């Protein structure tokens, strides 16, 4: 089932999400909705707060569903390791139409439960490391604009406010 994606400016995106106590059928149903919503957007990642669910889980698929076996469902993810730095253009489904160059780790290792409740270790470099950092940031109420400095951040925030005033956000 598709869920509406919450946009920048909503409190849902700035609150810290709560740990998932147990991976139940109800949790799996939310994860399925997140995958459907991510593919439909289309996007390569979506965190539960982006559909208004304040739980620590996210989904990532760098192929946007085009290649089998690339879907990652992460419940209670946490970093085990992060190293290096990369600078690339990045966007967010909660900030449609905006991108910015964001500093991210070049490599990230994450421990999480999968949709069956089994613990997994996911290691990513390049785009996957970036996606892991971006989605885990969402669980702590951080968006990519929050990682920008000064004028770069101001320009985006001002444009969003203008769209809000025009009723286009």
In the bound state with Zn ion, the residue whose beta carbon lies nearer, of 27 and 49, is: 49
Instruction: Give the per-residue contact string, 27-66, with Zn ion (x = CB under 5 A; - = no).
Output: ----------------------------------------
Known catalytic membership, residue 135? yes
Q: What are phi and psi of 123, to 5 degrees?
A: -115, 130
In the bound state with Zn ion, the residue whose beta carbon lies nearer, of 25 and 58, is: 58
Name the one range near Zn ion by CB under 5 A: 3-11, 32-40, 89-97, 153-161. 89-97
Category of 11 on φ-ψ map: left (φ > 0), alpha (ψ -120 to 50) or beta: alpha
Interaction between residue 92 and Zn ion (CB under 5 A): yes
Choosing from 78, 89, 90, 135, which is the catalytic residue? 135
- Of 69, 38, 66, nearest to 131 by C-alpha is 38
- Of 16, 17, 62, nearest to 38 by C-alpha is 62
């Amino acid at each position: 089932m598709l869920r509406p994606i919450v946009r920048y400016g909503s409190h849902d995106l700035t609150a810290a999400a709560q740990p998932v106590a147990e991976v139940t059928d109800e949790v799996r149903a939310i994860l399925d909705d997140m995958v459907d919503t991510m593919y439909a957007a289309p996007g390569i990642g979506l965190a539960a707060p982006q559909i208004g669910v304040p739980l620590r889980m996210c989904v990532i698929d760098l192929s946007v569903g085009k290649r089998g076996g690339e879907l990652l469902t992460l419940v209670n993810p946490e970093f085990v390791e992060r190293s290096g730095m990369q600078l690339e253009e990045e966007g967010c489904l909660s900030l449609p139409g905006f991108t910015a160059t964001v500093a991210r780790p070049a490599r990230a290792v994450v421990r999480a439960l999968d949709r069956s409740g089994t613990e997994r270790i996911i290691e990513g470099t390049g785009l996957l490391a970036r996606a892991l950092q971006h989605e885990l940031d969402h669980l702590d109420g951080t968006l990519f604009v929050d990682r920008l400095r000064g004028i770069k951040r101001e320009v985006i925030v001002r444009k969003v406010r203008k769209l809000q005033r025009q009723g286009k956000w």
